[in-house]
Structure 1
């Protein structure tokens, strides 16, 4: 079962989330601040991290930036907060967080989000290992390595995954993927925001904001 690191300075939340995940069969470690999170991440090698944004020593977004800059963001990170703004959530996503949970966190929301994010682990690990190898060797990838990478990540020879060009900036590539992702689920569930919310693991309010951000019409507009 997957290894999960829970980072939160509030002991009640830290213990509750850990107990829920433990009961589901996950191996769980807990950290109350960024210093502990750094040490446990190095030793424990988590498959996923639940990271609180507001902490006393180093906030979660700063820790996320640190891991990103050091090439250590090879696992999905889910940010958590009870009073973060939408701008903070977007910034965390831009840096590399794969999802955002608003406190109080329901049992169903926690488990569905964790399950969905763990599915992204193989691609994240693969990409991180490739970049780390290039940085350590200060070299380029040879043709054989490039072919292996393209095969593993389903990258075409013109530098794209499906209709998404990998030559564009990260922000645009991510937005392109998210548009396809949400359009797929809206079509699949016949524009039912309730079903799309459940499938994607996003609260309805967050889902509406995401669709608006991506320029996708919600079911209310589609039906008008």
Structure 2
């Protein structure tokens, strides 16, 4: 199994993630701040890092940028936050994160993200859609708080097209709307137009999801395959 580094300033989060991942057979190392994370990354060369964004000394985005700039980003990094937004996720992705999980993190989402992360040779090969880089599968930002679903990276099945490029040379609102439209169209196609399954997968209540799709101009009739 893998060596996983968990970086989070909350003792309870570290303990919980360590227990879950150890039960799955992984070796887990814990860091409560960026200084410890730097030391353990250098010493252990972990196979994957779970990195919290909000930490008291150096935040997770800054540490991610540091690793990226110094060629230390040799492992997949999954960002975690209880206050995540689309903008935060895109920022993390630009600097090499392969997924974004919003707290509280469910067991299923955690294990799926870790599984997909470990299947990747490195973090650079798996950015989220919406970033100015190529990617090979869908990922999403967890929670209705971010208006976009959960932060996991899935290899796409044959069918819906997941590889996209986004023009970032435009206002932020337009770029974000384009990302969200592409994100929901992908999942509608993947779930054969089932609003129920898409709502469950993205973490949105169905009424909210329907309003969001209408607001973005998503063609529901094109994706519908017999029932919502």
TM-score of the superposed pair, with normalisation by structure 1: 0.63
Question: What residue in structure 2 maps to residue 217 of structure 1?
Answer: 218
Residue 7 of structure 2 is matched in structure 1 by: 7
Matching residue of 2:81: 81
Alpha-carbon distance between aligned partners in 2 of 1:164 and 1:105, rounded to the nearest angstrom: 26
Residue number in structure 2 paired with 1:109? 109
Picking from 172, 189, 192, the partner of 1:190 is 192
Give SS of 1:12's match. helix
> Using the alignment, how far apart are the partners of 1:105 and 1:220 within structure 2?
33
Does the CA contact (< 8 Å) of 1:4 and 1:27 recur in 2? Answer: yes
**Alignment of 1:36 onto 2:36:** yes
5+ unaligned residues in a row in structure 1: which ranges? 128-161, 173-177
Greater Rg by CA: 1
SS state at 1:122 partner: coil
Aligned partner of 1:55 in structure 2 is: 55
Q: Secondary structure at the match of 1:105?
A: coil
User: How many residue pairs get matched?
Assistant: 177
Deviates more, 1:184-193 or 1:16-25: 184-193
Secondary structure at the aligned position of 1:50 is classed as: strand
Structure-to-structure mapping, 1:138-217, within 5 angstroms: 186-192=188-194, 195=197, 203-204=203-204, 217=218
More helix by share: 1
How far 1:27 sits from its partner (Å)?
1.0
Q: CA deviation at 1:86?
A: 2.8
Task: State the partner residue of 2:99.
Answer: 99
In structure 2, C-alpha distance between the alignment counterparts of 1:54 and 1:60, rounded to whole Å: 6
Equivalent residues of 1:191, 1:218 under 8 A apart: no
Preserved CA contact (<8 Å) 1:48 1:118: yes
Write out per-residue CA displacement over residues 101-157 of structure 1, whole angstroms, 9 at most, x where no aligned residue. Answer: 1111111111111111221x2265899xxxxxxxxxxxxxxxxxxxxxxxxxxxxxx
SS in 2 for 1:28: strand
Displacement of 1:49: 0.5
* Native 8 Å contact 1:98 1:117 kept in 2: yes
Alpha-carbon distance in structure 2 between the residues aligned to 1:54 and 1:13: 13
Please give the alpha-carbon distance, in whole angstroms, between the structure 2 residues aligned to 1:48 and 1:75: 5
Question: TM-score normalised to the size of structure 2?
Answer: 0.62
Residues 74, 39 of structure 1: alpha-carbon distance in 2 compared, 3 angstrom cutoff? same
| 1:20/1:94 CA distance change after superposition, 3 Å | same
- Alpha-carbon distance in 2 for matches of 1:89, 1:220: 30
Counterpart CA distance in 2 for 1:216 and 1:49 is 37
CA RMSD between the two structures = 3.9
